[in-house]
Amino acid sequence: MGLENHATQKRSGAAGGSLPTTTTNPRRTSSGLPRGRQIQKTFNNLKITILCGFVTILVLRGTIGVGNLGGGADAEAENQKLIAETNRILAEIRSDSDPTDPSEPEPEFNPNVTYSLGPKISDWDQQRKIWLQSNPQFPNYVNDKARILLVTGSPPNPCDNAIGDHYLLKSTKNKIDYCRIHGIEIIYNMAHLDKELAGYWAKLPLLRRLMLSHPEVEWIWWMDSDALFTDMVFEIPLSKYHNYNLVIHGYPDLLFEQKSWVALNTGSFLFRNCQWSLDLLDAWAPMGPKGPVRDEAGKILTANLKGRPAFEADDQSALIYLLISQKQWLEKVFIENSYYLHGYWAGLVDRYEEMMEKYHAGLGDERWPFVTHFVGCKPCGSYGDYPVERCLKSMERAFNFADNQVLKLYGFRHRGLLSPKIKRIRNETDTPLEFVDQFDIRRPVHRDTDPKGL
């Protein structure tokens, strides 16, 4: 602009045949413009140049990223490309080709129809007893231990937050380890059995289906995917529950006196495989169906349970409300808090080093929590109730704290509770079986004498 004028002026001057000279007019520069105008032009040019430079930087930033000038640029671009391609493919994979059900429409609300988990069964105890007698190869007690089926799961789609799948994987390994050591079978569910009872309610139809499909199982143990075993030695004292059908962590005073919405925790509980449990599930389910039923039920729960925020009905609040409204159920409910069948993580995760110093595995309580449950962290979703950093670090610590107890048999432990690396804790020998006798958790020595462990 200014430069073009300058050039034009010069060409005019040259065409005129004379070389431009310093003007005799002190107010004019060699380009023939007044000084004021020259300053103005220079200033304009400077502004344009700065703007252009700024634009260039922004364009570069948008392309390669500020922090990536240099070697990281290619990797970052490649990674972004991979992520984008992966997301595109996943969206394709997830599209359901069934033309009659292109999405998940809200079920039509019919107030005349009460939701049902399935056909009413009234003689399940009898059916099961006959079946067990006819199938001695599938006993419900093995080596005098009642058969337990641990049930957990997660949605079939990748987590919103990439790190979520990694911690689901670690949580699954953690459960595999505990269950291998204690002879417990695992069902990892990734299917929505009932569209109406989705989300946290999904465990209800699942529990029913598993009870009816696995008559050989005596106890079904639901455990959330965000709950980790942190005492690899402790075993559930099933003999305590001989006369009970539901074992759940909670506090009676919170339940009966305060009617608190966190009086019980449905993140880790056991159901006996029997008629009573089927009946309880039937009584529990009605607040669950998605839509107006769940929304309205949520209001009732918020109005009646202390501290409950306003949101749709959740299974935990509904169970609490059911038990305090229909007290006849309580006769068969064991509200357990002598060990951490569910251990709220925030008060536990910072004390693992202290625990390792003072106590040992096998206690299951506040000294060495049986289960550390990461309530509210939601690593699979986008919006947890706690800072991401705190949650991830704490889950890592809990995982390694538990893993140390498994690795002990093999002669290793983690370098630190935040470290994925391991180190030897004893030298190998040519008589390895002495360590098996000493360190295998399944060995009776761990069960009887409660030796000082980790």
Of residues 414-443, those binding a second copy (CB under 8 A): 415-416, 418-422, 428-433, 435-436, 440, 442
Among 19, 91, 93, 310, binds a second copy (CB under 8 A): 93
Among 39, 89, 425, 445, binds a second copy (CB under 8 A): 89
Residues 353-392, one symbol each (x = binds a second copy by CB under 8 A, - = not), give -----------------------------x-----xx--x
d(CA 278, CA 126): 13
Q: Is 269 exposed, middle or buried (0-12, 13-18, 19+ CB in 10 A)?
A: buried
Residue 163 touches a second copy, criterion: CB under 8 A: yes
Quote the DSSP letter at residue 262: T
Helix, strand and coil in the chain, % to nearest 5: 50, 15, 40
State the nearest-atom distance from the C-beta of 378 to a second copy, in Å: 11
Report the length, in residues, of the chain.
454
Among 146, 151, 159, 305, binds a second copy (CB under 8 A): 159
Quote the DSSP letter at residue 377: T
Quote the DSSP letter at residue 193: S
* The two three-digit tokens of residue 270, written as one number: 């056991």
Sites for a second copy among residues 40-69 (CB under 8 A): 40, 43-44, 47-48, 51-52, 54-55, 58-59, 61-62
d(CA 234, CA 255): 27
Among 33, 148, 168, 281, binds a second copy (CB under 8 A): 168
How many amino acids of this chain bind a second copy (CB under 8 A)? 104
d(CA 398, CA 363): 16
Sites for a second copy among residues 212-231 (CB under 8 A): 212-215
CB 271 within 8 A of CB 219: yes
Q: Stretches 10-18, 118-126, 237-245, 303-311: which one binds a second copy (CB under 8 A)? A: 118-126
Residue 302 touches a second copy, criterion: CB under 8 A: no
Sites for a second copy among residues 119-158 (CB under 8 A): 119-122, 127-128, 131, 137-138, 143, 154, 156-158
Contacting residues for 274 by C-beta, under 8 A, at least 6 apart:
124, 125, 128, 245
Q: CB nearer to a second copy: give 243 or 427.
A: 427
Residue 115 touches a second copy, criterion: CB under 8 A: no
Q: CB nearer to a second copy: give 94 or 299.
A: 94
| Cα 23 → chain centroid | 79
State the nearest-atom distance from the C-beta of 251 to a second copy, in Å: 33
Q: Stretches 81-89, 238-246, 333-341, 354-362: which one binds a second copy (CB under 8 A)? A: 81-89
d(CA 282, CA 77): 53
CB 187 within 8 A of CB 223: no
Q: CB nearer to a second copy: give 238 or 409.
A: 409
Q: Which amino acid type is present at position 40?
A: Q
